[in-house]
């Protein structure tokens, strides 16, 4: 596995198992698909919002998740660059040192959002 493949493997995990699953959770709530008693009240509460309000909540959720992922990646890079305390290795490749900035891997037409998230990169103007 080369450096680019290792970096992208990490990005795929973040997009599929963190970002997409978080957004999916919300979509299932809105669609009243959860059977769990602990989520029933939340699903009922969401019914009091109209579609425009639900879309605002959706944008807030996605922006919050994306901000958290960005800040996490920035901190990983910062810790590795200055304190040498963190290393993430994928099949022998230290992806933090291989990337010129993990947080930057999220963006652009070939970034992780576009390549690996089923929700793509959200339009920055929405935020």
What pLDDT, in 10s, does the model give residues 88-112? 999 999 999 999 999 999 998 899 9
Express each pLDDT in 53-83 by its tens digit: 999 999 999 999 999 999 999 999 988 877 7
Residues sharing a CB contact under 8 Å with residue 4, sequence separation 6 or more, in sequence order = none
Q: Dihedral sign, CA of 27, 13, 106, 64? A: positive
In-domain check, residue 22: yes
Average pLDDT, the chain: 92
Residue 126 above 70 pLDDT? no
- How far apart CA 127 and CA 122 sit, in angstroms, is 9
Residue 123 above 60 pLDDT? no
User: Count of domains in the chain?
Assistant: 1
The pTM of this model reads 0.89
Q: End-to-end distance of the chain based on CA atoms, in angstroms? A: 37
In-domain check, residue 127: no
In-domain check, residue 75: yes
Which residues constitute the domain of residue 93?
3-122
Contact 34, 40 (CB under 8 A): yes
Residues sharing a CB contact under 8 Å with residue 28, sequence separation 6 or more, in sequence order = 34
State mean pLDDT over 36-61. Answer: 95
């Amino acid at each position: 596995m080369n450096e680019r493949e290792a970096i992208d493997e990490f990005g795929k995990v973040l997009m599929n198992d963190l970002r997409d699953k978080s957004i999916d959770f919300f979509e299932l709530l809105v669609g009243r698909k959860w059977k769990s008693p602990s989520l029933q009240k939340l699903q009922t509460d969401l019914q009091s919002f109209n579609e425009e309000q639900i879309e605002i909540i959706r944008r807030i959720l996605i922006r919050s998740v994306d901000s958290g992922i960005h800040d996490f990646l920035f901190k990983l890079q910062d810790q590795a660059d200055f304190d040498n305390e963190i290393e993430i290795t994928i099949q022998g490749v230290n992806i933090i040192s291989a990337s010129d900035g993990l947080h930057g891997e999220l963006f652009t037409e070939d970034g992780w959002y576009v390549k690996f998230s089923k929700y793509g990169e959200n339009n920055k103007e929405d935020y």
